[in-house]
Chains A and B, each alone.
Chain A
Amino acid sequence: MSKDRVSRRQFLSYTLTGVGGFMAAGILMPMVRFAVDPVLKAEAAGEFVATKQKVADLTNEPVRVDFTYKQKDAWYESDVTESAWVYKDDAGKIIALSPVCKHLGCTVNWGSDKAHPDQFFCPCHYGRYTKDGTNVPGTPPLAPLDVYPFKEKDGYLYLGKAKPRKEA
Chain B
Amino acid sequence: MLNKLYDWVDERLDITPLWRDIADHEVPEHVNPAHHFSAFVYCFGGMTFFVTVIQILSGMFLTMYYVPDIKNAWESVYYLQNEVAFGKIVRGMHHWGASLVLVMMFLHTLRVFFQGAYKKPRELNWIVGVLIFFVMLGLGFTGYLLPWDMKALFATKVGLQIAESTPFIGSYVKVLLAGHEHIVGAQTLTRFFAIHVFFLPAVLFGLLAAHFIMIRKQGISGPL
Contacts and interface: CB of A to CB of B under 8 A. Distances in A.
**Interface size of A as a range:** 10 to 19
Given A38-B187, A105-B157, A73 B172 contact: no
Interface in B80-120: none
Contacts of A36: 176
B161 A38 contact: no
Interface string A31-55: 0000110110001000000000000
A16 interface: no
B58 to A, nearest CB: 28
A74 B191 CA distance: 12
The secondary structure that dominates the B interface is: helix
Contact of B158 (A38, A39, A73, A104): A104
A102 to B, nearest CB: 10
A76 B70 contact: yes
Nearest to B194: A35
B185 interface: yes
B180 A38 contact: yes
Contact of B161 (A39, A43, A71, A105): A105
Nearest to B69: A76
22 contacts: A35-B176, A36-B176, A38-B175, A38-B176, A38-B179, A38-B181, A39-B172, A39-B176, A43-B181, A73-B180, A73-B183, A73-B185, A73-B187, A74-B180, A74-B185, A76-B70, A76-B71, A76-B185, A104-B158, A104-B161, A105-B154, A105-B158
Interface of B: 70-71, 154, 157-158, 161, 172, 175-176, 178-181, 183, 185-187
Interface of A: 35-36, 38-39, 43, 71, 73-76, 104-105
